[in-house]
Amino acid sequence: MKNMISVIVTTYNRAYYLKECISSIQAQTYDNLEIIVIDDCSKDNTEDIINNIKLNDNRIRYIRHNINKGAGAAKNTGIEVATGEYITFVDSDDKLANIYAYETAIKTFKNNNIDIYTYSETNEENTLISKKYKKYIINTDNIYIPTTMLPLKIFKSKQIKKIRNNEKLKYDDIPFWVDFCLVNRPIIYHTDNKFYMRIKDKSNMGGGNSITMNEKNYIELFDAYDELNSIINKKGNNIKNKIHILYKILDGNILFWYNRIEDKKIKENYRKRAKEYIKKLDNSLNIIGKELNLKNMALFIDDETARTKYLQDIEIFKDNNYKYIKPNTIIFKIKREIYRIVHQIKNLFIKQ
């Protein structure tokens, strides 16, 4: 059906949040929708909830995997069966924050020569509609916008159906998004409208934490980065500076996830993996320093006290757009060496 939006909701043991998620989609003022729920073999009462909702809404389609295949496989299933002109995603433990989200998107598609409509996220419901936007045209030098998160985007169906998620990855959005950009070279309309909302209080209720809430899995982000690197090398022949594109994406992700880890052992394992990964990409700390923001450099400081102090010092640059300040890597290496020597001397005194 013309202009129909296929909304893909992938879920696994998220019954506690599912009603609120589906309700936010049903409440949209633009109602030419099909709501496709892909149940990745949940062990809770997800199926019962969806069957009850379906009784009063024939737009809902329910598909259940026979075995648990992962988030990437669930998205692939949704994309394959979607019949709408446009495709978008909503995570089952999130919801839409504004009832005009899809109506605004469709109007924008009709009035502009664009391939993707993207919006922002928020922590609270809102009714505001902003006219601010930025139009991105993907070319040889630009394959990245502020987020790789798929639920913040509405795609043209004919374009997204060209791409498949890597079903072996827990964190599939990042490589999928870059693959999509390299294949389709889309024109993206990015708005400041905060149409997407993360449901608060994501506790252990309703079957445990989602993938992105489980910090034990964060180390597997680097498998997604490996896949990303592989995609860029295979399909990015027209990109003038492949390593720059990769660093640009890592710059917004690596430290973000590091800071979310509370368990000290997991946090340290993640830091070591991050340090090894970045050095593997380019063995020159000087090159890395030019690409990654100052905060990411903290991942190279082995001493925890020195690392904490470094991150505290960086805060003073916030008002000066610290991301764009080029770190002096020579000074950084000298300071790191001083911290190491001081730490060794302290240990000698402790041993004595």
Residue 257 CA from chain centroid, whole number: 11
Rounded Cα distance between 182 and 334, Å, is 40
pLDDT at position 31? 94
Rounded Cα distance between 247 and 241, Å, is 10
Rounded Cα distance between 175 and 163, Å, is 11
Section 20-35 average pLDDT:
96
Contact in structure between 317 and 297 (CB atoms under 8 Å) = no
In angstroms, how far is the first alpha carbon of the chain from the final one?
Answer: 79
Domain residue ranges of the chain, discontinuous segments joined by +: 5-198, 214-351
Give, in order, the Cα–Cα distances in Å from 157 to each of 13, 46, 52, 135, 154.
28, 27, 29, 20, 9
pLDDT at position 208? 41
- For the segment(s) 5-198, the CATH number from 1.10.357.10, 3.90.550.10, 3.30.450.40, 3.40.50.970 is 3.90.550.10
pLDDT at position 203? 45
Q: How many CB atoms lie within 10 A of CB 183?
A: 14
- Residues of the chain with pLDDT > 90, as a percent, come to 39
pLDDT at position 52? 93
Q: pLDDT tens digit string along 94-116? A: 999 999 999 999 999 999 989 99
Give the position of tokens 């027209």.
238
Q: Per DSSP, what are the bridge partners of residue 8?
A: 36, 89
Q: Per DSSP, what are the bridge partners of residue 122?
A: 197
Backbone dihedral region for residue 277 (phi beyond 0: left; psi -120 to 50: alpha; all else: beta) = alpha
